[in-house]
Amino acid sequence: MDIKQLYTSCLSEAAYFIASDGEAAVIDPLRDVDTYIKMAEEKGVKIKYIFETHFHADFVSGHVELAAKTGAPIVYGPDTQASFKVHVAKDGEEFMVGKLKIKALHTPGHTLESTCYLLHDEAGEPYCIFTGDTLFVGDVGRPDLFSGNLSKEDLAGMMYESLRDKIKPLADNVIVYPAHGPGSSCGKNLGPDTFSTIGAQKATNYALQDMTAKEFIKTVTSGLSEPPAYFPVNARINKEVIESLDAVYEKGFKPLSVADFKQLAQDGAWILDTRNENVFTHGFVPESISIGLNGRFAEFAGTIIPMDQALVLVTEAGKEKESITRLARVGIDNILGYLGGGFEAWQNAGEEIDLIIDIEPDELAMDLPHDSMLEIVDVRKPSEFEAGHIKGAQNVPLNTLTDPLNVAMLDEHANLYVHCAGGYRSVIAASILKRHGYHNLRNVLGGYSKIKLEKGIPVVVPGVQVNEI
């Protein structure tokens, strides 16, 4: 028995590769499916099944492309409706992969078709369960994502029954392999680990504690943040047959001369710069949007960039294909090429460049008492802002900057000091503001994590007296 978790931190997503006695199965594959095909070749096994726990909203699955390349059937749970050929498993239906048995357990709640897969080892004993977005480490899947006309309360009620009837009766030693880990927007507050056991979750997961259905529904549906903008698009895409990743590479994985790059940008393509944010601020092609590969790249790209928007890329050398792949994972496919030679080629051609001024928190502390035009723009989530912020700061969450009306609320004549929690999101925000014509910008290095340590900056924390300058 060989079980491998393939975890992608950028999306907090876990796919799984299972092999036994010459056969294999893949659960919840990402779009770049050659990873699984190569793994099967290296292990000398044939992919027999592609199991999907549900229609994912946070990434584009590779199920259709993997099926086309391997001939393996795609298996979904009950109540599945799709535009491609799929084996709709019955609740309790069993599948053999080598000497292993995999049993489908229909667990609606996150979505209607949500299904967990219970794996029995060679001795026939339950060994692990692939829970998709039904059960996470420390959390459960949110019930407010795109299941027809049902309310989140309706789905939460289904989730209560699924957990009570299908999950909690399992033995404590059964390993829990979820589809997501910490940072995922598919739950409220996932724990730090990417796997656990049924026993550990029954002891620590709030959603598995004894409570009435009414209490459960109230608990699970409260405190839900707005899901990323691309979620409904990806949920729809995963029910359809889309362009292959090979076709996306053919169109986008090509170097562009400076002249061709400029022309495409002038014709309406957005410039996306995927270099590290600390490199970007020191020099970039004017009107570029910064989303660095070193952070939660795909999630922020899906939030900020319209799905059909044409793009040209500026990347670190050797990161061109990775940038395209990670964009395609959330359905951003309209990539027209990348700047050959990178930003250095742009500089060497004598083209105009732009930059963003970085400052340390102590410089902000010095400017605060003396600059009447200074405005602080905090681009963290509202929940982060409420937990503590600079006195007088404006909370303009990064995801809201996609709306020009929200950008227009900022004073174009003010000196804007932009910060987030650690410095990644603030550079994205500053690059967007630059595109909108705001140039009196300062990016506060280290974000609020460093700002709150600076004695000269007044901060507001619930239950704590405001620090004074």
Q: Are residues 78 and 156 in the same domain?
A: yes
pLDDT of 156:
95
Q: Is residue 468 part of a domain?
A: no
Smallest Cα–Cα separation from 155: which of 142, 164, 136? 142
pLDDT of 345:
98
Q: Are residues 147 and 15 in the same domain?
A: yes
Q: Are residues 361 and 422 in the same domain?
A: yes
Average pLDDT over residues 217-239: 91
What burial letters (b/e) apply to 318-341, b meaning 16+ CB within 10 Å? ebbeebbbbbbbbbbbbbbbbbeb
Query: Which residue among 217, 235, 253 closes a domain?
Result: 235
Q: Is residue 445 part of a domain?
A: yes
Q: How far is CA 230 from CA 236, 327, 403, 445, in A?
A: 10, 12, 14, 28
pLDDT of 197:
98
Query: Domain range for residue 111?
Result: 2-235
Kindly tell me if the per-residue pLDDT of 129 is higher than 50. Answer: yes
Upper half-sphere CA count for residue 449 (Cβ side, 13 Å):
8
Percent of the chain residues topping a pLDDT of 70: 98
Kindly tell me if the per-residue pLDDT of 464 is higher than 80. Answer: no
Which residues, 6+ apart, have CB-to-CB distance to 287 below 8 Å?
Answer: 265, 271, 354, 434, 435
* 343-356 confidence digits (pLDDT tens): 999 999 999 999 99
Q: What is the pTM of this model?
A: 0.92
pLDDT of 73:
98
Q: Is residue 420 part of a domain?
A: yes
pLDDT of 229:
85
Q: Are residues 158 and 292 in the same domain?
A: no
pLDDT of 468:
46
Tell me the CATH number at 191: 3.60.15.10
Q: Is residue 466 part of a domain?
A: no
Average pLDDT of the chain to the nearest whole number: 95
Kindly tell me if the per-residue pLDDT of 469 is higher than 70. Answer: no
* 397-452 confidence digits (pLDDT tens): 999 998 888 898 899 899 999 999 999 999 999 999 999 999 999 999 999 999 99
Kindly tell me if the per-residue pLDDT of 206 is higher than 50. Answer: yes
Q: Is residue 297 part of a domain?
A: yes
**φ/ψ (deg, to 5) at 208:** -105, 10
Q: What is the CA radius of gyration of the chain?
A: 24
pLDDT of 361:
96
Number of other residues whose CB lies within 10 A of the CB of residue 361: 23
Query: Which residue among 235, 254, 283 closes a domain?
Result: 235
Average pLDDT over residues 259-284: 98
Which residues, 6+ apart, have CB-to-CB distance to 259 below 8 Å?
Answer: none
Average pLDDT over residues 199-221: 96
d(C-alpha 105, C-alpha 116), whole Å: 5
Q: Are residues 194 and 267 in the same domain?
A: no
Q: Is residue 361 part of a domain?
A: yes
Q: Is residue 469 part of a domain?
A: no
Kindly tell me if the per-residue pLDDT of 214 is higher than 80. Answer: yes
Average pLDDT over residues 143-170: 91
Q: Are residues 69 and 158 in the same domain?
A: yes
d(C-alpha 183, C-alpha 11), whole Å: 8
Q: Is residue 467 part of a domain?
A: no
In the chain, what is the straight-line distance between the N-terminal and C-terminal CA atoms, in Å?
62
Of the given ranges (168-177, 245-254, 413-422, 455-464), which has the lowest mean pLDDT?
Answer: 455-464
* 14-68 confidence digits (pLDDT tens): 999 999 999 999 999 999 999 999 999 999 999 999 999 999 999 999 999 999 9
Q: Are residues 81 and 193 in the same domain?
A: yes
Query: Which residue among 348, 381, 414 closes a domain?
Result: 348
Q: Are residues 52 and 177 in the same domain?
A: yes
Q: Are residues 362 and 308 in the same domain?
A: no
Average pLDDT over residues 71-89: 96
Tell me the CATH number at 274: 3.40.250.10
Q: Are residues 19 and 132 in the same domain?
A: yes
Our count of domains for the chain comes to: 3
* 281-328 confidence digits (pLDDT tens): 999 999 999 999 999 999 999 999 999 999 999 999 999 999 999 999
